[in-house]
Structures are given as C-alpha cells and as structure tokens.
Amino acid sequence: MAAESRTTHALTPDPLTREVVDLFGTVVARFHEEYELAASEHQLTGAQARVLALLAREPTPMRQVARQLKCEPSNVTGIVDRLESRGLVERRADPADRRVKVAAATEQGRTTAAQLRGGLDFAGAPLAELTPAERTLLRDLLRRMLGDDAVTETP
Amino acid sequence: MAAESRTTHALTPDPLTREVVDLFGTVVARFHEEYELAASEHQLTGAQARVLALLAREPTPMRQVARQLKCEPSNVTGIVDRLESRGLVERRADPADRRVKVAAATEQGRTTAAQLRGGLDFAGAPLAELTPAERTLLRDLLRRMLGDDAVTETP
DNA sequence: TATTGTTATACTCTATAACTATA
DNA sequence: TATAGTTATAGAGTATAACAATA
C-alpha cells in the first residue's frame, strides 16, 4: 500500500479506479431504473417494493425493517400502512413482546413479490452479454470486493 | 395461478446469474449509502448532489438536466432553486434562444462538487481489495456488460 | 427507565396539469 | 402551433420530536 493512500486516493484516484467507479455509477443508475420500473408495473413505489420483497422473505418487526432499510422507524409505519391497505402485507402481534408488531407479506403479497423479482430484467439484459465463464469471473471479483457479508446477504 | 411457465429466464434464472444480480444489488445499496452520506456532509440531498455534479461538469439547460436525471422538468426548477439560493448554482440566459435557461455551477459550486466527489469513499474502500490487474479485469467486464454507451457516459 | 410503534410536523422529491414567454 | 421553464397541486419518502403501551 502506498504511503499516502488514505487521505490521497479519494481526491486523486488513479484513472483505472476512477473508471471502475464511474462504471459502477452507471450500473447503479440502470439497476435503479429497472427496479423502479418493475415496481411501478405493480403500482408500487421503490420503497414499497423493497419492503414487500423483504417481508416476502421473512416476517419482520417494524423496527428491524427500518434498520434494514436504513431509515427511521417512523417512515416504516406509512410504507407498511400503504401495503397493508392493499392487502399485500399484514401486521401480527408478537406473543413474546406485546410492544412488537411483526409485518408479514400476505399470500397475495408473496405472489406480487415473486412477480416483481421476475420482472427485474436486469438479470437478463446486461449480463447476457457475458459468457458463463465471464459471469463467474465477475461474481468472484464482486465477492472479493464486497467481502464475506455480501454472500450472506443473498436471500 | 400455478407458475409453471418458463417463458422467461427471469422467473428461474440460473444460480450464477442470480448471484451476480444479488451482488450488484449489494453494490447498488452501498453506493447509494455512500453517496447520500457524502451529500449530507455538505447539507445536500442526493438529488441536489447529482444535479450539482452534473452542472460542475458542464452548464446545462434545465430541460436537459431533467432528461439526464430522468425526471420531469418541473422538478428541476425546485432543485436548482435550492442550489441557487445557496450560491452553488446560477441560471444564465441563452443568447441563441431566449426561452432557455442554462444552469451552471458557480465557483463555489464547483469546489463543493469536487469535495463531494473526493468524499465518496466508494472508490477507496471496496476497490482497494482488488489488485490493479483485477480492477482492469473488472473494468473490462463492466464495459462489456454495459455496452459502448457506458464508456461515453464517463465524465 | 428504556424500548416499540405510532403520530405530528416539516421538508424534499416526484408526476401531472396549467400557465408564460418565447419560437 | 410548439417548446422551455415555471407554478400549483397532490402524493410519497424522509428525519425529528413527542406520545402511548409495554417491558
């Protein structure tokens, strides 16, 4: 590692690093576009789709939803309200702690979540450009880049 | 409805593709976190930071800003209003067409944009895990994945 | 006393539609 | 007529602070 790394690399990254960051910026932009589009096809906002996807995997207390969304708990109330009013999600009591409300996807909610995931064309379009060998390479690079927690995050 | 139809790859992508998509999902989440954090350190919202970064590169008519942000032109009015009220951006007349207003970063705006970019630690942290050779590999894979327009988009 | 979820409030972003001033 | 930018409006996400119920 270079002696001046920590403070310097951010202000004057080498051209290669900078290009990779820019490419990731493009990936991020496209991913978001696709996600919002897929969500809107189900009359959902991006935030609603994210919460629904999360709850379709596993019923989760409100507070924990907020933590996973990295937002304030008060926001989750409204998002779950809207999902609940459409029958996609329900609030359940937690027998162990009566303060807790566990948000859970309904049957209809799980169906919608599955369709939403299927509608994400991101998997098909850009990755189709790569051969399986290249995809494996890409996967390994991303894994190393993100560290072990990235693998664990996979639903 | 029993979902047995395999008309699209999207419903049952192979595990490799699915994992890569999930990894990109993690990249997207991290990128966004970092971006919002860097923006908030300058008392900017994400949208304001994006517009400022855009205008720091090149003065741009309002309508074109909207196109690049992929949002309605009416939204840009408010975002530029807020940036302008803080002296980071200014509106200029276009001599060629008096309907057009060209938004441009001020000197202070360009400074802030540069700091903002420098504050994006995304370049440093995850990519530091990779060797230069691996970064080159990653760059080439991303380029192929995104197509030629991704290269052109690079500022 | 501390924690969970909610409410109340204020701000920003967003799309839609109507308006103005130019072209 | 068509276009660029704005205004007006309404809905959604967001953080902050204060609150009730429960621990």
Q: Of B73, B107, B70, B75, which Cα lies nearest the Cα of B90? A: B107
Amino acid letter, A11 = L
Chain B residues touching residue A133 (CB < 8 angstroms): none
B96 CB within 8 Å of a chain A CB? no
A4 CB within 8 Å of a chain B CB? no
Contact (CB, 8 A) for B23 and A150: yes
What count of residues does chain A have?
Answer: 155
Which tokens is A55 given?
Answer: 């709850």
- Specify the CATH number for A15-120; select among 1.10.132.20, 1.10.10.10, 1.10.357.10, 1.10.1370.40: 1.10.10.10
Contact (CB, 8 A) for B65 and B76: yes
Query: Where in chain A are the domains?
Result: 15-120, 124-155
Coil, strand or helix at A21: helix
Residue-wise pLDDT tens digits, A68-99: 999 999 999 999 999 999 999 999 999 999 99
Report the nearest residue to nucleotide C21, CA vs C1'. B99
Name the pLDDT band for B28 (thresholds 50, 70, 90): confident
Name residues 28-67 of chain B within 8 A of A (Cβ): 28, 30-33
Residue B46 scores a pLDDT above 80: yes
B31-119 maps to which CATH number? 1.10.10.10
Mean pLDDT of chain B: 85
3-state secondary structure string across B10-62: CCCCCHHHHHHHHHHHHHHHHHHHHHHHHHHCCCCCHHHHHHHHHHHHCCEEH
pLDDT of res. A154: 35
Mutate to test the interface with B, among A11, A20, A33 (most CBs of B within 10 A): A20
Residue A63 scores a pLDDT above 90: yes
Chain B residues touching residue A142 (CB < 8 angstroms): 20, 23-24, 27
Q: What is the mean pLDDT of residues A7-16?
A: 58
DSSP classification of residue B28: H
Name the pLDDT band for A10 (thresholds 50, 70, 90): very low
Contact B139 A25 (CB under 8 A): no
Task: List Cα–Cα distances, B7 to A39, A112, A117, B12, B13, in angstroms.
Answer: 20, 18, 15, 10, 11
Mean pLDDT of chain A: 86
Instruction: Please name the residue of chain B whose CA is at the shortest distance from the CA of residue A11.
Output: B118
Distance of CA A152 to the CA centre of its chain: 14
Residue A147 scores a pLDDT above 90: no
Residue B153 scores a pLDDT above 50: no
Return the number of CB contacts < 8 Å for A and B.
154
B120 CB within 8 Å of a chain A CB? yes
Instruction: Please name the residue of chain B whose CA is at the shortest distance from the CA of residue A139.
Output: B20
